[in-house]
Structure 1
Amino acid sequence: MLALSDTTIRASFANATKRELNDLTLPDLSAIAWDKIDYLGWRDLRLARRAYVVVPVGDEIVGVILKQAESAPRSRAQCTWCEDVHLPNDVLLYAARRAGAGGRNGNSVGTLLCANFECSANVRKTPPMAYIGFDVEAAREKRIATLRVRASDFAAGVASVE
């Protein structure tokens, strides 16, 4: 992912009101290893249950405000984006209000995500050998590509105005 500025990130949000943009707390952008992430995700330290993702969608960047569900999944859930079966972290249900009139009417979409957005690190782990001759590097690259597609599809779905 290309490095993003504060201004670019703030301008990217598809489902944010002016008030939400004013309340937006950004992470320390200088501490991010941009070449090792496929999307930028963070939890708001000031507002409980609010999180943000900024995802490349084609040639654009789309930001999405997420709201964590009040209750946790009953059993160990699997992240929809990275599908890591050896998760070192929790998975939470996040909902995003759709952009435009749909969002104003209460339409939203949800997804199960790693609680602290570790998907990029999870897909870069070397997968175990499935069989003799298994191409580990090709499997890892496929996981990275699949993460990018899933994150992009989610952000595009939130941003699309119906």
Structure 2
Amino acid sequence: MSKPFIRNHQYNLIKQQVLQLQRACNNGADPKVIEAVQHSAQSKILESFSELNESQKDLIAGLEPLRKSEEFQKYLQSLEPFLEKFSTTTNKQIMKLFPKVKKLKVPDLNAIDFQKISYLGWVDIGTNKMFIVYHLDGKLVGVQGRYTPSNKGICFLCNGITDVALFSAITKSKPANASSDYYKAIGNYICTDSHECNKRISKVDSLEKFLQDVLY
């Protein structure tokens, strides 16, 4: 049996593609249209994985013959045992990522389903700060920044139209001849609810670029 290999954002992408195919089938689309949607869905799903062995490919390919609502649901359920957990993270590990933050308020980790997150994010309303923890290049990293609530907008992580806040973090990189008081902030609009964001995010490119720009 294959080990867990589907990350949260990949599972979200699969669900999105399954929903599109299911809609085409339920709306009585022409068989050729359904076939085109199916091929497109299959391609996008496979492209989201950098490497798959044959058994994993066979599991993902189970999408191909599906046409009924109950079949789509069974397909998604069949993938759940293969969801890869966000690596175990402890309060101590998180606190080490933010050594300069006094009285850091860490979220209740026992209440988090680590199979259903791509990143760990939370807000400290008292200090108007947001914190993000992620596994970047095999290393646990953390970024903190100013959190300024805004109106509805597009989240740069999940592309959902929802309640967002401007999240701005100070980058650690400096020009070679920069003065000692030089700083540069990088900001993006992000979901105010990281739980909902994690349910929608289907790519981690933007998240990883943001973290790299801030950290390096």
- Per the normalisation by structure 2, the TM-score is 0.53
* Higher helix fraction (1 or 2): 2
Deviations 1:99-141 (A, max 9, x none): 2657952211001100122311123xxxxxxxxxxxxxxxxxx
- Determine if the alignment matches structure 1 residue 78 to structure 2 residue 154: yes
Structure 2, gaps ≥5 residues long = 1-85
- The whole-number CA distance in structure 2 between the counterparts of 1:8 and 1:104 is 30
Q: How many residues align?
A: 126
Larger C-alpha radius of gyration, 1 or 2? 2
Q: Tell me the secondary structure at the aligned position of residue 35 of structure 1.
A: coil
Q: Which moved more, 1:149-158 or 1:51-60?
A: 149-158
Structure 1, gaps ≥5 residues long = 124-142
Deviation at 1:46, TM superposition (A): 3.1
- Determine if the alignment matches structure 1 residue 120 to structure 2 residue 193: no
- The whole-number CA distance in structure 2 between the counterparts of 1:36 and 1:104 is 40
**Identity of paired residues, percent?**
25
- The whole-number CA distance in structure 2 between the counterparts of 1:91 and 1:72 is 6
- Per the normalisation by structure 1, the TM-score is 0.69
User: Which consecutive segments of 4 or more residues in structure 1 shift more than 3 A?
Assistant: 100-104
- In structure 1, the residue matched to 2:104 is 24
| Cα RMSD, aligned residues only | 2.2
- In structure 2, the residue matched to 1:40 is 120
Higher relative contact order (Cα pairs below 8 Å, separated by 6+ residues): 1
- In structure 2, the residue matched to 1:91 is 164
For 2:144, which of 46, 51, 65 is the aligned residue? 65
> Is the CA contact 1:56–1:152 (under 8 Å) kept in the aligned structure 2?
no
- The whole-number CA distance in structure 2 between the counterparts of 1:7 and 1:77 is 34
- In structure 2, the residue matched to 1:159 is 215
